[in-house]
A and B are shown apart, each in its own frame.
Chain A
């Protein structure tokens, strides 16, 4: 190799390097004139030839006061500094400048080589990072391997106060020692990110709920030097969750403890809610709710039917549930469509147990029946006492007639005996027919026709006693399930009582009116007379004894029989009376009960239905 060639190669290499290094390179002489520069420099700072470095790089008219090149010409030391200057377009920018001496053979510094690297972007990133670090809406802290906090952000300081140099567990949780299950410890160990939910204490003493992510700051083969903890405060969410849970518990507890059965299905028909009361009604023991198919066999069909815009699916005063095991459970059943902002969520059924009510009603009827028996016996005793007195009188007259040879008295006494014997016979007959247990045989009957028949039957007999028997029926009364024979007996009793009452008083125009009408659920019959009315003491006895005010004519069984028949229909007999103004006897028959009665008597085998 000859020296010229080597020199040549060296020159070309130097020129190439000069152009290729990723810096802006310029060479400055002792006069601070730029004597050489690479194209990168020229691109940044523009035209440099024949100009001073301070003119080119900073746009200054004279040398910078803190010139870094100047001392290098004296001491030959390399210098690095951060500078800001202007580019060829006059824009400010930041750069790091390396200044190095170029020495001659004597070691004198003839030139300074200036290598600048643009830092503008890096600076921007730095600023952005700082801003991000400080302003991110998380608690951010950097901790060292001893869990000492080395840096915190603004949000952190707001929540937990100044913490630099303190232990993180002390600051976050006011603990004296590291927390168990510390995610930062894990990150120190494996270098990976860890996330966990934590509860700490804010500097104002309120609880802080947060989700923390720990992340290694420096990674590599070596141990992690720092961990950054980024914690999102979820206290508000936690509070909301708590409130939501409470509201949920509130409703859940309401549903669970409701006395009524509550059952809800979603839009697919799957059971979502079945409270204990509903379980008990359906006799449903399994933990899992019944399947939609099974549910169909348990609840009334109405629950599954289509509905209009209206949210009410069903409202049935008396429905029956098919419980597991076959029992038919009577309930008041209502169902509604569940919606949220117009979107269907499903359906809910509300079921009120009617078993107890039915049982009480049964008990009441039973008690009334027993009371009626007691009253019957008392009344019967009264009637018998009167008959006995008649017989006693007859015997006295027969005895004394024979003893005195008084034929008239004998005949008179004998007739008294015969009459009272006949009355006894009639009483026994009446009583037996009254006492005979008999279930009403219900047939669809027109109440108005019933009333009309009675009026026609008794009209002439009433007229003979000077009483006008009138009919006043409502055209809106429709048919009902009644025992027509029983009802005829009742109306006959009331009408004949009415005629008697209207006959008694002071020869004025007697009048009896038979009325029908509907009043709510009740079918009502009324027999109104303008007779003398009824005394208070008679009123209190009228239904309760074999009471008769008709002397020898009545057996005292008419009203009692009437009441019995009406009770068997599930109804009642009411009486209103004002002495001197007449009386009203009113029969009330609840139509709902009649339907139930008819349905249940239809279920009975035919032989049980016969009296």
Chain B
């Protein structure tokens, strides 16, 4: 790989942040972290990460709100988002019934299967041909 890809981990629970941070760095990604939706959205706009992992239930501003904000901003709307949450089912239903919002690229129930998670990330980033506006 010529350029190091960056993943933004948005998660409020510090132990889980530490886990994903370590895991993704071990896989050769650069990692930036945010502990709530607001901070996550700011960092996404500022750093333009290649992928975002997002928890749904967080204080201050929830993952749902942040997801909408990302979709609503042209600067961030094309960044692939993987939702990693304990309430996957409810959230999946909720977001997929919203026609105006593009669904996230993947859902992972906590705790995610490590191999599948990395495989999905590599599928989204590995080819490096992610073009703006293209559907996965």
Chain B residues with CB under 8 Å of A549's CB are 57-60, 62
* B22 partner, pick from A386, A409, A537, beta carbons under 8 A: A409
Shortest Cβ distance from B12 into A: residue? A551
Interface size in chain A (residues, C-beta < 8 A): 32
Shortest distance between the CB of A421 and any CB in chain B (Å): 11
Contact of A535 among B16, B26, B61, B87 (CB under 8 A): B61
**Contact partners of B12 in chain A: CB under 8 A:** 551
A431 at the interface (CB under 8 A from B): no
B19, B62, B94: which has the most chain A beta carbons within 10 Å? B19
Given known A-B contacts A382-B87, A535-B62, A537-B62, A394 and B15 have beta carbons under 8 A apart = yes
A residues 376-398 touching B (CB-CB < 8 Å): 381-383, 385-386, 388-394, 396-397
Q: By the criterion CB–CB under 8 Å, are A552 and B13 in contact?
A: yes
For B13, the chain A residues whose CB sits under 8 A away are 386, 389-390, 551-552
Contact of B86 with A382 in the complex, beta carbons under 8 Å: yes
Tally B residues with Cβ within 8 Å of A: 28
Query: B119 contacts the other chain (Cβ, under 8 Å)?
Result: no
A121 to B51, CA, bound (A): 137
Per-residue B-contact encoding for A184-217, CB less than 8 Å = 1, 0 else: 0000000000000000000000000000000000
Q: A535-B61, A548-B57 are in contact. Are A393 and B18 (CB under 8 A)?
A: yes
- Interchain pairs with CB closer than 8 A, number: 85
- Which residue of the partner chain A has the closest CB to B65? A535
Q: Is B23 an interface residue (CB 8 A)?
A: yes
Across the interface, which residues of A come within 8 angstroms of B20, CB to CB? 393
A392 to B65 CA separation, bound complex (whole angstroms): 27
A552 contacts B86, C-beta separation under 8 Å: no
- Binary interface profile of B, 24-65, with partner A (CB < 8 Å = 1, else 0)? 001000000001000000000000000000000111111011
Q: How far is the CA of A391 from the CA of B57 in the complex (A)?
A: 19
Whether B18 contacts A416 by the Cβ 8 Å rule is: yes
C-alpha spacing A416/B94, complex, angstroms: 32
Q: Are A389 and B60 in touch, CB under 8 angstroms?
A: no
Task: Decide yes or no whether B14 CB sits under 8 A from chain A.
Answer: yes
- 4 nearest CB pairs, A to B: A393-B19, A385-B86, A389-B111, A392-B111
Binding site for B on A (CB under 8 A): 381-383, 385-386, 388-394, 396-397, 400, 409, 412, 416, 419-420, 504, 532, 535, 537-538, 545, 547-552
| Further 16 A-B residue pairs, CB within 8 A, beyond A390-B16, A538-B62, A549-B58 | A382-B87, A385-B111, A388-B110, A388-B111, A389-B13, A389-B110, A392-B19, A392-B111, A393-B111, A394-B19, A397-B18, A397-B22, A551-B12, A551-B14, A552-B13, A552-B14
